[in-house]
Amino acid sequence: MDTTRSAMVTAAASGIAGVAGSFAVVGFTPAFVGAALASIVAKLSPGVVITFAITVLGDLGKLLNVAAALLLVAGVFAGLALGGIWIGRALERRAAAPLVGGTSVFAVATLLTGAPVASLGAGVAAALPLFVAVVRPLEVATGTGDSAARRRLLATVGTGLAAVGIGYPVGVSRGPGVSAEAPIDDSVVRGLLDDARAKSLDVTGLEPLVSDNFYTVDIAAADPTIDPAEWSLSVTGTVDQEVTIDYDELTAMESREVFSTLRCVGESLNGKKMDTALWTVVDAEPLLERAGVAGRDNCCVMLRAADGYYEEFPLAALRDGLLAYRMNGRPLPRSHGAPVRALIPGHWGEINVKWLTEIEVLEQEVDGYWEERGWHGTGPVKTVAKLHATERDGDDITVAGHAYAGTRGISAVEVSTDGGDSWVEARLSEPLGGDAADASDAWRQWAHTYTTPGKAHEVVVRAREADGTLQPEEESNSFPSGPSGWVTREMSG
Ligand SMILES: Nc1nc2c(c(=O)[nH]1)N[C@H]1C(S)=C(S)[C@@H](COP(=O)(O)O)O[C@H]1N2
Ligand SMILES: [Mo]
């Protein structure tokens, strides 16, 4: 085999092994080269590209982002390996290939991730195929001429594949911990969750009042991993005195349970990025008081997070804000902002900052992460009634979904089965909460059963807020300030 081709194959094996080595050491965390590059690509992408990825591609966009980053980083590592091979040949020092290749992969990985230990995994793994190929004539490679070269190349590729075969499962085993499986020992929480289950309407395919599958939206490809013992939250900016509290102090504050719904400004009108959980929270206000912000009329605050995220919104909204550290009775999962996130009742998801580390009090408005990209998502949510489930029983058709109006509350959901000519009130789930939990920012379920008209027809759904206000009919896209309009669905007879 010609030496250029074998050098390329060796370099490719080295590149792939380097990625696998990084993954083996840290798993899918921000210190993994693939995740770091995916985040960098997403952060540098123009707003329109990101908006397209979110509103059109959804989860596929995220997958493509990570896949592209993996290819790119494996390619870069392969290029560095090739450089090592060439230098080795030029110097006629065979040991130079794994040394130069491995070291440069380590250096670039450290640059990308800022994590030298994880990058050591990348460097060492990338060096292995180079070592096999050029330094050590393995037993399998003893022999003469072409067949020896081919066998050596096989051993090289085998080394690369072995790195993936070992690195992948090892990295996966470093995934999120097992806290989500821990039993719920709080009987109040158990009672509230049981109550929510009992109040959930029984329609096939309708998600219960406490979501089984809570959506996630993240700017970074891999979520931060924060040890609660290392975490702290600071109130900074124009304050009388800066305040910093750690996890033990926060969880020792007076806490309560709230049912609260989150909805992403970037979702489609009848999309699936709206969910509800039972959160254990403390109020943000006592912290603001301690910082001397109580009497101030500062315009706004910037919330900052461990993933580099930042969102700015009115100080007034934070006065009603909550700091959540448990979700459905268990420690906040990593994917939802462990150990502590903000919940800002009635507002779009984006200012509900996860992995929260800093509250900066500002005197002037500035743009947050999404506003820099053209979105207007720092205000109250729009009212919506979604249609997600249909059930047929003989001539009976049941349609059902969730309705949410933030803290304005839902008083009714109205359904039309004739394209909007006539309307009837749907049945609503009992309000969540009661004495043991606040549910003033939680959705309701609705359902309506009717007899089929025997022909194709259009179902239309609309919500009324607690004060009777009807949600606007006019449709608008999610960009820039959230989807609005009445949800419609074509039904066969
Ligand atoms: N630190 C941080 N907080 C964040 C985000 C993020 O990317 N990083 N995404 C925001 C967006 S756009 C939404 S819609 C909500 C989603 O919260 P969830 O992932 O728990 O559903 O978190 C918000 N908080
Ligand atoms: Mo969002």
How far is it, in rounded angstroms, from Cα 37 to Cα 23?
Answer: 13
- Say which ligand is closest to the CA of 369: 1
pLDDT the model gives residue 216: 95
pLDDT the model gives residue 43: 84
pLDDT the model gives residue 143: 52
Instruction: Specify the amino acid at residue 364.
Output: Q
Q: What ligand 1 atom has the least distance to the C-alpha of 214? A: 21
Between the CA of 349 and the centroid of ligand 2 the distance, in Å, is 5
Residue minimizing CA distance to atom 23 of ligand 1: 350
Is the CB–ligand 1 distance for residue 262 below 6 Å?
yes
The residue that leads in pLDDT, 396 or 298, is 396
pLDDT in tens, 103-118: 999 999 999 999 998 8
H or E element at residue 8? helix 3-26
Between the CA of 163 and the centroid of ligand 2 the distance, in Å, is 37
Is the CB–ligand 1 distance for residue 369 below 6 Å?
no
The residue that leads in pLDDT, 43 or 248, is 248
How far is it, in rounded angstroms, from Cα 399 to Cα 406?
Answer: 23
Q: Mean pLDDT of all residues in the chain?
A: 93
Between the CA of 395 and the centroid of ligand 2 the distance, in Å, is 40
Percent pLDDT > 70 in the chain is: 96
Region of 292 on the Ramachandran plot (φ > 0 left; ψ -120 to 50 alpha; else beta): left
Is the CB–ligand 1 distance for residue 353 below 6 Å?
yes
How far is it, in rounded angstroms, from Cα 268 to Cα 388?
Answer: 13
Instruction: Specify the amino acid at residue 220.
Output: A
Between the CA of 263 and the centroid of ligand 1 the distance, in Å, is 10
| Ligand 1 probe mutation, 215, 217, 382, most atoms within 8 A of CB | 217
Q: DSSP characters for 106-175?
A: HHHHHHHHS-HHHHHHHHHHHHHHHIIIII---GGG-SSHHHHHHHHHHHHHHHHHHHHHHHHHHHHTTS
Q: What are phi and psi of 364, to 5 degrees?
A: -135, 150
Residue minimizing CA distance to atom 21 of ligand 1: 216
Residue minimizing CA distance to atom 24 of ligand 1: 353
Percent pLDDT > 90 in the chain is: 80
pLDDT in tens, 65-89: 899 999 999 999 999 999 999 999 9
Between the CA of 414 and the centroid of ligand 1 the distance, in Å, is 31
pLDDT bin (cut points 50, 70, 90) of residue 58 is: confident
| Torsion angle (degrees, nearest 10) of CA 91, 97, 101, 102 | -130
pLDDT in tens, 209-243: 999 999 999 999 999 999 999 999 999 999 999 99
Between the CA of 262 and the centroid of ligand 2 the distance, in Å, is 9
pLDDT bin (cut points 50, 70, 90) of residue 172 is: confident
First-residue to last-residue Cα distance in the chain: 67
| Ligand 1 probe mutation, 274, 307, 350, most atoms within 8 A of CB | 350
Region of 449 on the Ramachandran plot (φ > 0 left; ψ -120 to 50 alpha; else beta): beta
- Say which ligand is closest to the CA of 43: 1
pLDDT in tens, 236-249: 999 999 999 999 99
Instruction: Specify the amino acid at residue 166.
Output: I
How far is it, in rounded angstroms, from Cα 176 to Cα 56?
Answer: 29
Strands 256-263 and 438-441: parallel
pLDDT in tens, 444-465: 999 999 999 999 999 999 999 9
Return the structure tokens found at 303: 């919330």
Residue minimizing CA distance to atom 17 of ligand 1: 216
What would the mean pLDDT of 311-335 be, rounded to a whole number?
A: 97
Q: What is the CA radius of gyration of the chain?
A: 27
Q: What ligand 1 atom has the least distance to the C-alpha of 377? A: 12
pLDDT bin (cut points 50, 70, 90) of residue 181 is: low
Could you give the C-alpha distances from 452 to 39, 142, 486, in angstroms and in order? 49, 78, 21
Residue whose C-alpha is closest to residue 12's, from 234, 238, 149, 164? 164
pLDDT the model gives residue 94: 83
Between the CA of 57 and the centroid of ligand 2 the distance, in Å, is 15
Q: CB neighbours (10 Å) of residue 307?
A: 21
Between the CA of 336 and the centroid of ligand 2 the distance, in Å, is 12
Measured over the CA atoms of residue 380, residue 416, residue 489 and residue 413, the dihedral's sign is positive
Cis peptide before 472 (omega within 30 of 0): no
Q: What ligand 1 atom has the least distance to the C-alpha of 370? A: 12
Is the CB–ligand 1 distance for residue 378 below 6 Å?
no
Q: What angle do CA 112, 116, 118 make, to 5 degrees?
A: 85
How many CA atoms lie within 13 Å of 416's alpha carbon, on the beta-carbon side?
15
- Say which ligand is closest to the CA of 216: 1
Write the DSSP symbol of residue 57: I
Is the CB–ligand 1 distance for residue 375 below 6 Å?
no
Is the CB–ligand 1 distance for residue 260 below 6 Å?
no
Could you give the C-alpha distances from 426 to 207, 353, 398, in angstroms and in order? 17, 34, 10
Q: With 0.75 as the threshold, say if the pTM is over it.
A: yes
Listed in order, strand segments (DSSP E) in 242-365 are 243-246, 256-263, 274-283, 300-305, 310-314, 322-327, 330-331, 341-343, 356-362
Strands 322-327 and 300-305: unpaired
Is the CB–ligand 1 distance for residue 358 below 6 Å?
no
The partner residues of 397 in beta bridges, in order of sequence, read: 392, 450
Between the CA of 45 and the centroid of ligand 2 the distance, in Å, is 17
pLDDT in tens, 241-275: 999 999 999 999 999 999 999 999 999 999 999 99
Q: What are phi and psi of 51, to 5 degrees?
A: -60, -45
What would the mean pLDDT of 5-19 be, rounded to a whole number?
A: 94
Is the CB–ligand 1 distance for residue 309 below 6 Å?
yes
Within its chain, how far is the Cα of 349 from the centroid? Answer: 12
H or E element at residue 446? strand 444-451
pLDDT bin (cut points 50, 70, 90) of residue 178 is: very low
Within its chain, how far is the Cα of 469 from the centroid? Answer: 33
Helices (H) and strands (E) in the chain, counts: 11, 20
pLDDT in tens, 115-157: 998 899 999 999 999 999 876 554 444 555 677 788 888 989 9
pLDDT the model gives residue 144: 59
How far is it, in rounded angstroms, from Cα 188 to Cα 211?
Answer: 19
| Contact (Cβ atoms closer than 8 angstroms) between residue 264 and residue 273 | yes
